[in-house]
Amino acid sequence: MIVLGVDPGTATTGWGVIETVGCQRLAVHGYGAIITKSTTPFPERLGIIHLELQNIIRQYRPEAAAVEELFFAKNVKTAISVGHARGVILLTAIEENLELYEYTPLQVKQSLVGYGRAEKSQMQKMIKVVLGLKEIPKPDDVADALAVAFTHISNAKYHQKTGL
């Protein structure tokens, strides 16, 4: 199974593609970030996220997309803009015929570290170890996206597809 993990954001959308190889081995196919400039008009930023994600999906051909849910935001404006980005990401996955799954940050931390209130640094170190990476992926959104993909692979047999 090849899974695309996505950590939504307007300025930075992290992504990572992981494949299960055999029963217990994971292969990282690619990861990175879709970056948009704050000086770019907001609708164009959403368009950039859509086109870049479409290219990533077409390049790596995942079967499923796992997207982190918006948990909370200190700033309402930020929450709304990230919500718009999530909508674009979900629509892109649907347009590309991917099975779509959503995970809360708590579920991701629980799956990866075994503790739902784990620190971000713990998650980053664990994703590096679990995936056999030479260094922690940067920016943080990329490590988060890989963690979301890992969560889906770890929980695929227990989790039902989102109702979208």
Residue of 52, 102, 141, 144 with catalytic role: 141
Q: What are phi and psi of 115, to 5 degrees?
A: -145, 120
Tell whether 161 is covered by a domain: no
Tell whether 99 is covered by a domain: yes
Q: Is 7 a catalytic residue?
A: yes
Element (H or E) spanning 25, and its range?
A: strand 25-35
Tell whether 94 is covered by a domain: yes
Q: Is 96 a catalytic residue?
A: no
Tell whether 163 is covered by a domain: no
Instruction: Look up the domain containing 113 and give its range.
Output: 2-155
Tell whether 118 is covered by a domain: yes
Ordered mean pLDDT values, 10 residues apiece, the chain (164 residues) = 96 97 86 97 98 98 94 72 94 97 92 81 91 94 96 75 50
Q: Is 141 a catalytic residue?
A: yes
Domain total of the chain: 1
pTM: 0.91
Tell whether 9 is covered by a domain: yes
Tell whether 143 is covered by a domain: yes
* CATH number of domain containing 57: 3.30.420.10
d(CA 113, CA 54) in angstroms, rounded, equals: 30
Q: Which residues pair with 27 in a beta bridge?
A: 19
Give the start-end residues of each E strand in 70-143.
99-103
Tell whether 164 is covered by a domain: no
Classify 14 as helix, strand or coil.
Answer: strand
Q: Any residues with CB less than 8 A from the CB of 153 and at least 6 apart, and which?
A: 1, 3, 18, 20, 26
Q: What share of the chain is helix, strand, coil (3-state, %, to 5)?
A: 45, 25, 30
- pLDDT, residue 117, reads 76
- pLDDT, residue 164, reads 47
Residue of 52, 68, 102, 144 with catalytic role: 68
